Structure 1
């Protein structure tokens, strides 16, 4: 039995509102039975995870039993008056109306927002916990950010823009929504009622593809281009718009976000693609999706089809068909079985009201851009240099050398380059591959001071989530420089004294785990799957360096600890000099 926590006081004022202070048990009575759209319970306030930790002193929930109106609501774990409490979540039994902004605390961790009534605001941005809006929502923009967060919304949704950047967002229904945008893969889900073969109606939850690009609806001043060439929200939107209660939307872009000229645009797209010299189908892949243009005949009529197939487990196909004989346009959104046959299908013409067919129109325009993009060898190489998220072993040694500037590539790394050219990245050690990273974009996120980012040379991907290996340039000869890992979720750690030591670590055939406090290798034998060229790599390492393969996690610890003993303090002092926080394990 879990001991019931005492509350430090009865009420607490936050953002000008007096809340009732309650403990976990009282919060459980209110939110413990809230469910997602699969009838699974959402909250377990006793779970003792990063969401609801029990290691903090004075953990509390704040409860508003009546309707609440606020000017701005930016969640935090405590207040200036009571810095000793730890707010696990804010619970509103009634409606929540906020004039300017509702915002979570931090992308990694935030108090949970639970509203049982209706939620209204100009701008809402949520992350860092699992949030629940049970009575619907009205706003201009609703944003979800980063995979430490998740959102469930029940009831009517009225919003100009719903935008997700790597955060799952679940909705019961879109009542009046203008634009749905996922920055990368589909992360926004909507419930739909469909009939089975016997006519029984069931509710299913499907990923909803993007209906627009950001530039179709957001003011240009709030848009930036990512390292991968995609449109993202710039860092200025929060201070310049959200905190002021202003909209980031550009209401003068009606033609774009309403697709008012889509028919003429689609006919022009068909004409351009029809004039291309080809035999049969035009098809290209981009970012894992397939884009196609297919002319065909059906029942004596001539058609042209443009499509986008979203793979990677989503199995979504978006198609637009032009009948040359009747001049009719048909738009189709399909969710597919694994064998490629339709599971659910929505079809309509281009004049159909509502947002449902906007995603197909968006796919048509994206497909046209991909299918008509230049594909010269020189442009392909330029794309590889900027979009280096996926490993590609096809680059030349000359291209690989550019990132090293005036420094000579260590001989051991040259040998590894030659091995990888023969066997390919990620085939000999889990999630490892040499990369070209010329712009130091990732390192500059830590500090934009030239002295800092020029002290590192990235050269390889370290794991499947985006961490990278780099030389810490403390000597003119890189063979005397240690290897550090930059964690994709924080943390800069020494892992090897030199290139050869890193190559030895790779023989364990498992990716490095990196967090803010530490970096380590851990092979879980229960789930381990051997890389196809592991044996060839281990034999090569033995032949070239006379090193036996590492077979245990403890073997990697010895190498990492040796490097830490030699360089950790020096690296920490260097990082601190640039105001970069170090982890507890690194102090």
Structure 2
């Protein structure tokens, strides 16, 4: 790439004078930064949405000395210099911010790179790869959405680390009170373990140690969207004012001050249940997680164990054990091999310090809640309980397992929540998200494992049985195209990603699929509007700023873009498995 010129030498942002440098100069500063697997983090020449080369006047802003600010909310430009595009902010020294450090947007933001220590009351990062190389100290450190990623080296001192679908990597937790993952684990921590060749540093996903209500003030929690609650929108104003959303009066909750009595009471309560007396154990399988209560004898002593085991590629087991004979409580955090045997573990009693034991306490309390919840009666007709493309009754935990180790894109989760509110097939003709875990339909095309494991089916496409699936060309589903499997033949690329498919759905007509073609065509003479079409259009505009598609030609343009990018590659892949391609695809 030809070296870019900088439009001026210095620039003021948030009251601080930065040196303006181009991406070549930035590369000499950040190009060799590595993650905890010794892989380079930044490639400023990659020409992606993170570091695009299509913007005019792309620059980095560099602070060579320690910096103090009142508030630091990143943006791509300023009112004084609206024509520049800031790719990232680089601080060679410490960054001390009195109130808030925040990214620009969850979809895309300048990168934050700090070589020294980072200090603020609140830190909210997303939309790019961020690096804090000299440790961090704050009340709340938040990561949001899978367009972002964070690496922190050095000491971490924080009351709460909170991730909502964003990977966050930490070298060490020096003083951390609570860790909360929304949904599956996204927070990773390095640990030192004894291996065959001595001490090894390994990086593992870390489960939640608390639920939000244990440490966050109730005024900032929205319980309507997730079982443990999520942060509501009202926390933004408090962040900007440099105030805390935490409730320090909840110390007994977030320190688990009464855990011993709670655990003994839980064991006694579960031991008296009819299910335990009849079955000898209590087990619940929810999605990819197993919750259980199991009494057993070991070396002549009686134990009761409450445990949570997270599979789906995480392979984490948390066990709390009560020895009835010695009245001792043992807490165990284990990382497992694929066969279920422990790879390495941390074990101690309930009074031991260390955040590893907090996640086990959280697991025990959560498991008790699940095991004592009322169980819905099963239907007599099992066929009525099978999920189809017309069934909207499944939970997000039931929808997730078919994606294996892949993270659900935020756009797909948003669509799931919309469908839960309005119902399948009520907002776009014959479309509905579905649960399918056995790949039965895809296997009719080829029984070869490489083939059927290259797709994730997730939605019904039309009234005759065609279905939409991700084609797994990338580890990030945001970068994977959507294909349609025709019920009477034909596998075709439809959209570059899930957002493009959502845009196509605004035409409110089912896709037509045959061996040669896949296309959207709305015949105005026979068209009948879906009952929730308008609500869907308003939602798409609000969430993605996309106007509804009004013509077949607009739909064709989106499909053609996807075909131009992926059709040949898909054809080559299909022919590899002896699958015939249509006339259009053979052109």
TM-score (norm 2): 0.73
Corresponding position of 1:104: 103
Give SS of 2:137's match: strand
Superposition deviation, residue 229 in structure 1: 3.1
Q: Deviations over 1:43-102 (max 9, x none)?
A: 000000111010111100010111111111111111111111111000000000111111
1:256 pairs, out of 236, 249, 253, with 253
Q: C-alpha distance in 1, partners of 2:302/2:46? A: 60
8 Å CA contact 1:136, 1:156 repeated in 2: yes
RMSD (CA atoms)? 4.2
2:418 pairs, out of 419, 431, 442, with 442
Corresponding position of 1:330: 330
Q: Deviations over 1:544-568 (max 9, x none)?
A: xxx997345xx11xx226679999x
Superposition deviation, residue 225 in structure 1: 2.3
Corresponding position of 1:460: 432
8 Å CA contact 1:512, 1:520 repeated in 2: no
**Pair 1:220 & 2:221 matched:** no
**Pair 1:246 & 2:246 matched:** no
Superposition deviation, residue 380 in structure 1: 13
Q: C-alpha distance in 2, partners of 1:290/1:455? A: 35
Give SS of 2:230's match: strand
8 Å CA contact 1:164, 1:183 repeated in 2: yes
Corresponding position of 1:38: 37
484 and 184 in structure 1: CA distance in 2 versus 1, 3 angstrom threshold: closer
Superposition deviation, residue 354 in structure 1: 2.5
Give SS of 1:330's match: strand
Q: C-alpha distance in 2, partners of 1:58/1:276? A: 68
Q: C-alpha distance in 1, partners of 2:5/2:19? A: 13
After superposition, residues 456-535 of structure 1 pair within 5 angstroms as 460-461=432-433, 508=490, 513=495, 514-516=497-499
Corresponding position of 2:300: 300
Q: C-alpha distance in 1, partners of 2:503/2:123? A: 37
Q: C-alpha distance in 2, partners of 1:564/1:102? A: 51
**Pair 1:394 & 2:386 matched:** yes
469 and 251 in structure 1: CA distance in 2 versus 1, 3 angstrom threshold: farther
After superposition, residues 201-216 of structure 1 pair within 5 angstroms as 201-216=199-214
8 Å CA contact 2:488, 2:515 repeated in 1: no
Q: C-alpha distance in 2, partners of 1:258/1:135? A: 28
8 Å CA contact 1:69, 1:97 repeated in 2: yes
Superposition deviation, residue 377 in structure 1: 2.0
8 Å CA contact 1:284, 1:291 repeated in 2: yes
Give SS of 1:107's match: coil
Corresponding position of 1:375: 375
Superposition deviation, residue 136 in structure 1: 0.2
Q: C-alpha distance in 1, partners of 2:387/2:68? A: 58
Superposition deviation, residue 288 in structure 1: 1.9
Superposition deviation, residue 202 in structure 1: 1.1
Give SS of 1:178's match: strand
Q: C-alpha distance in 2, partners of 1:228/1:509? A: 36
Superposition deviation, residue 442 in structure 1: 1.6
Q: C-alpha distance in 2, partners of 1:369/1:155? A: 37
Corresponding position of 2:445: none
Q: C-alpha distance in 1, partners of 2:380/2:75? A: 46
1:229 pairs, out of 227, 230, 236, with 227
**Pair 1:181 & 2:180 matched:** yes
Q: C-alpha distance in 2, partners of 1:103/1:58? A: 23
TM-score (norm 1): 0.73
**Pair 1:69 & 2:68 matched:** yes
2:268 pairs, out of 271, 292, 299, with 271
175 and 548 in structure 1: CA distance in 2 versus 1, 3 angstrom threshold: closer
Superposition deviation, residue 510 in structure 1: 7.0
Q: C-alpha distance in 2, partners of 1:337/1:577? A: 43
